[in-house]
Amino acid sequence: MEQHQAMRVHQNKYAAERGASQSQMTNSSPSPESEALERFAVEVFSELPEEMIARRASEVKVLLRMSMLAGLEMELESTLNLVCDLAAEIVSFQGGAVYFWDEDGEVMQMRASRNLPETGGEHPNHAGVLNYWSAKVGRPLLLTRHCQAETDLLLDAMNAASVLVVPLFVRNQVMGCLQLFGARTDSFSREDAQLLWILSLVAESMLARDYSNETLLRFAFTDFLTGLKTRGFFEQQLDLELARAERRGTPIALLMIDIDHFKRLNDAYGHQTGDLVLRDVAAILTRDLREVDTAARYGGEEFILLLPETGHQGAKLVAQRLRYAIEQANFFTGAHGPADEQIEHITISVGVAVFPEEARSKRDLVEASDAALYEAKTRGRNRVVLYSEIKSQREAS
């Protein structure tokens, strides 16, 4: 009874918060797609019936434990993993995943997973449908084989017979979802969905706070002018990539890039035009980068690119491609006059160093790429120089 009272007190505030949005959802005219999904939506409530609390006392204790942890300040990733772990104590599932909104990619990304089979990337693609449905309905969905064609594709990929989808909220908005897969069509019950719904509601305050902290951290590591990562972020990422490269025995390429005669351009057209050029250069530098690559503004008109699992040949190809793209681009100065007077052509110099051939430490790698950049400037600018070339010349002399 004490557990029931504690759960009831904690959940009363959610009944009021959800009331407006739920009634609005009910009163608005549903689309054909929404009507179809309603067949698989589970009717849930903000309070648990006393008989369910008595029957599933151990699962209710998990909810109370989540409630007590709600005051802890954690990283968003840790909170999502906690939700996944506690869900496993409430229901048994074959495999599971937690998706949450990624501001940079403007899409829900998988942030935690448990026992998912190797699917060659099929799971994230098909799972996007469940993310969409979860956001659209705003309640748990219980789907089995032959419910929907899209679901069957995902269940085939997961080697599962059913999936329970529970939305995750931040300030009354669906910002993610928990997807749990079962081996049988009856792996999950509506009672399971109700318990996980309460778990989602209890987790909301933690998710809201941790999501806000993650957003602030992202802003702190983003250069406001170019949209690239900051030097501070780059330093942390380089530490991580070097540790990973040492474990795997793979190379890392570092490209130090400087805009040639940038001061001359600033003096001629002003700092406002210089800022526009910096943004345009940043856009060109990141246009063809892989997801694993990192582009950062190193300072002033200097940029730095971190290319994991890239050796000398690959790094040189990337550097030459970028140098040529900048050289061929038209940069508009915003100055008054004929069209041809509003266009400026600029060039870049690039220094390249590769771990572990030219450097065994973070400091040495940065210094080697900087030395190669200085050599590119000395040789007349608008060129790419590899530190390995400088090293060979020194050894030959």
Nearest partner of 15 among 58, 60, 51, 46, judged by Cα: 46
In contact, 275 and 233? CB cutoff 8 Å: no
Please work out, in degrees rounded to the nearest 5, the angle formed at the alpha carbon of residue 208 by the alpha carbons of 202 and 210.
105
**In whole angstroms, how far apart are CA 43 and each of 46, 83, 103, 125, 190?**
11, 21, 30, 28, 8
In contact, 241 and 366? CB cutoff 8 Å: no
Q: Where are the beta strands (DSSP E) in 147-241?
A: 162-170, 173-182
* Distance in angstroms (rounded) separating the CA atoms of residues 382 and 384: 7
Examine the residue annotation and report whether 301 is marked as an active-site residue of this protein. yes
Active-site option among 204, 301, 358, 375:
301
DSSP, res 253: E
DSSP, res 116: P
**In whole angstroms, how far apart are CA 354 and each of 5, 204, 295, 364, 372?**
62, 45, 16, 10, 11
* Distance in angstroms (rounded) separating the CA atoms of residues 6 and 67: 10
* Residue type at 260 in one-letter notation: D
Which residue numbers are catalytic?
Answer: 301
